[in-house]
Structure 1
Amino acid sequence: MDTRAPRVSIVTSMYRSAPFLEEFYRRCVTAVAALTSSYEFVFVNDGSPDDSLDIALRIRDRDPRVTIVDLSRNFGHHKALMTGLAHASGELVFLTDCDLEEEPEWLLRFHEAMTRARVDVVYGVRTNRRDGLFQRAGAALFYRLFNRLLAEPIPMNVITARLMTRRYVQALVQHREREICVAGLWVTTGFDQLPMEVVKETRAGSTYTTRRRLSALVNAVTSFSNRPLVYIFYIGVAVMLLSMMMGIWLIWFSLSNHIGVPGFASVMVSMWFLGGLTIFCLGIIGIYLAKVFTETKQRPYTIVRAIHGEHEPHDQPADSRAGSSVLRG
C-alpha cells in the first residue's frame, strides 16, 4: 500500500449540498487529474439535514481516495473548513465550497499562479457582485468597518477558494480559537499570498442570511480587534468633556438669570442618551467577556462522529487536531 502523502488534497464542507456533490466531485477529478494522479478528497459533513452524507458515502464506495469527516452536528461553515484542513495530508491543499458557485477548475489557474509567483497561497477575490443593492451595500460596509478595526486588513470580496502549501496549512490549523473567523485567520497566519480575480456565480437560496452576515461581522471584529474597547474609553472621555462644557454653560446661564424653570425635555434626553450609551458600552464589554468565557473552557470547536476512510495525515503536528474531538464507538 502506498503510504506517501498525496500531491493534492481537495477540502470542502457539506451543508444542504446534495444537489451539487456528484457534479462537484466529477469536475474536481477532471481538474486535479490534469496536475497529478496523486490526490485525495476530504468532505466534511457539517450536520447537513439532507442526504449529502449518503451521496458522499456512495462516492467514497467508488473512490477510496475520498475521506468523509462526519461531524456530530452543525458547527458552522468556518469550523467545518478548519476541521477538514486538519485532516488533509496533501503537499498542496485546495479549499473550496462544493455548491459550484466557486468553479473547481480554478485549481488549475491557482496552481499556475502559485508556480509562477512561488507563493504559499493563491486565493480568489470576487470581481462580480450580482446581489441586490442592500447586499452589496452590506458587504461594502462589512469590509470597511472590519478593516478599520484591524491592524492587518482582510482583502475585500475574498472568497473561500484558495490553494495552499502544506507548510501554510500546518501553521493555519495551529490556531486554537473556539470562536473562529477564518478570513481573519487566513491573514493572520501570514506567508506570501497572491490574490486572483475570479467571477463567482450566485446561487439562489444561499444559507447566508442577513442575520448570519451581521453575526459574522460582530464575531470577526471581536475576535481580531480590541479597538472597540479602546473606542469605549474615548467615547467616555468625549461624553465627560461634553458634560463639563454643558455644565459650565448652564452655570453661566443660571448666574445670568437666563434660565427659568428647568426643562423636563432636556433632562429626559440626557438620561436616555447616557443610559443608551452605557448599555451599548456594557454590551461590547459583555461580548468580549463571553469570548473569554468560551475560550477558557477549552472545548473542541467541532466533534467528529465518524471518519469514513480514516488515515493519519503525513507530517502533521502532534497538536494540529486539538480543535476537534473524535467520538470513538
Structure 2
Amino acid sequence: MSHVDPMWTEEARALRESVRTLLARRSGPEAVRAAMAAPLGYDDELWSTLCEQIGVAALAIPEEYGGAGAGLAEVCVVLEELGRTLTPAPMLGSAVLCGQALLLTGNDEACRRLLPGIAAGSSLAALAWSDEDGRWSPACEFRDGRVDGRAHYVLDGDHADVLLVVARTPDGPGLFEVAPADARRAAVTTLDPTRRLAVVTVSNAPARRLDTGGFDTERLRWAAAMALAAEQTGAAARALELTVEYTKQRRQFGRPIGGFQALKHRMADVHVQVEAARSALYGALTGDDFELDAATAKTVCSAALRHAAAEMIQLHGGVAITWEHDAHLYFKRAHGSSLLFG
C-alpha cells in the first residue's frame, strides 16, 4: 500500500481547487434546485464548462481514446467536490460507469468510436444493468443477436445518446450496445431529486456485443462504487461544515448552541466518521485487494454520509425540514446513494 494519498498530490490539489472554484460560482443552492428541475436533470452549460475547461469527463480515459490518461484518484477528487455541493451531473453514470465499462471490454474499435465523445462531454452514455431488486445482476438477456429485459436505476438513462446494456449470455455477462431508439426509456421519481434515474426496457432489440467474453462486471461495479464513495465523502464533509457553521450562529440561553458539550460531542462523532470515510477511500485507492477495499469504502462512506445527514437535520432543528434549506437534500442523497451499486 502506498503511503502517499493520491487524492492530495500537488496535481490533485490543483484539480480540486479548479473544480471547487467553478462550483462555488455556478452551483450554489439556487443553481442546484434549478438543475434538478431542468429537462436533463442537470445544468448542461455547467457540465460543458467542467468538461471543456477542466476536462473532468476525460480524466480516467486513456489518451489514445481522447482522454487525459489519469486514474480513479483524479476522478474521485472531482466526485468529492461534486458531492460537497450536491451538483447534479452525469459524471458518475456517463464518464465513470460507461467509460470504465467500455475500457473493460478491451474492444479497441468500440473504445475509439465511443470514448472520445464521452471524454469530451459531447456524448452522454448510460448503462442498463440492474434488476428491480437492486442486486446488480444483469436484468436483460441476450439471445440470437437481440436483447430482452427491463433494467432499473439507470443513471441518466432517459436522455442518453449512447446506450450500453449488461446482459446474460451462455458464457456469462456481456456488454452490448443498443440503439437508444430501440429502447423504451422513462425517467422515474427518485428519493434523491439531484440524481436522475430511469427504467430502460428493451424488447427483442438488435444488439452489438462489445466484449469478447469474460466481461468483468464485479470490477466495473466496484470501480463505480469507489467513485460513489468519494462523492459520499464530500457530501458528508460539507454536511458537517454547514452544521458547525449553524451551531456557531444559532443562540439559545444566551450563547451559541455549538458551545454546549452535548452538541460538541455529536459533531465530534460525525467528524470521526468523515475521517474514517477518507481513510477507507484512501485504502481503496492504494490497497492490494481492489474489490474488498472498494466494498469497504462504499460501506464506510455510506454510513458516514447517513450519520452526517441525520445529525445535520437534528442539530439544525425545524429549519432543516423546510424545502428552502439544503439539509433534506443531503439526507435524501445519503439514503439514495447508500443503495446504489449495492
User: TM over 0.5: same fold?
Assistant: no
More helix by share: 2
The structure with the larger Rg is 1
TM-score range, shorter chain: under 0.3
